[in-house]
Amino acid sequence: MVILASASPRRRRLLKLIFPRFSVRPGDCDENNDRALPPEKLVEELARRKAAAAVLKAEADDLIVAADTVVAVDGMILGKPADERDAFRMLRLLSGRAHVVHTGVAVVKDGVTRSFVESAEVMFRPLSDRQIGRYIATGEPMDKAGAYGVQEKGALLVEGIRGDFYTVMGLPVCGLARRLEEWGIGPEGLDSI
């Protein structure tokens, strides 16, 4: 059985492109960010922790997929905002400039954990305080790294992306499918096209 170790509805939609059938079992683990780690190392470590927690509730032959995403700007990691004030601070910081989104993915199969990180650069348009306030009022920023969702109303904030769009959404679909093939785990999604 394939298990997604994440409660994210976005990751569920994306994993379905590779595996039409899977079970969702978020792995409870310590997600405290070690801010001393570079962002790409941090997301890989957090994905590995989530996968390790999911293994404890899985069968020996299950395939587990876990992921974590952070936004980084000026060497600073932006996770999910603590409140609306924090969301405003993040969006003000991102306004009119580029930042990098890192998504770490961990896969466990037959007791072996493999992981990788994909990164994409995102350019925000300049935003007024009023625009930021109106976006926060939608509630959308509150459960997303960097306080925005590129696949929803947050798309109105983004001028461009260099890299995989799905990395910014939280699961690099092409990168995961390619690595699964390299590791001898054939994605079912390719059989349907």
Reported as a single tens digit per residue, the pLDDT across 132-162 is 999 999 999 998 989 999 999 999 999 999 9
- Asked which of 22-36, 74-88, 122-136 is least confident by mean pLDDT, the reply is 22-36
Query: Do the beta carbons of residue 51 and residue 25 sit within 8 Å?
Result: no
**Residue 173 pLDDT:** 95
Is domain 2-192 classified as CATH 3.40.50.1980?
Answer: no
Nearest to 124 by CA among 92, 83, 151: 92
Query: Do the beta carbons of residue 93 and residue 31 sit within 8 Å?
Result: no
Task: Locate the domains of the chain by residue range.
Answer: 2-192
Residue 89 or residue 76, greater confidence = 89
* Active site residue ranges: 68
Q: How confident is the model at residue 75 (pLDDT cuts 50, 70, 90)?
A: confident
Contacts of 85 (CB under 8 A, 6+ apart): none
d(CA 136, CA 86): 10
Share of the chain above pLDDT 70, in %: 91
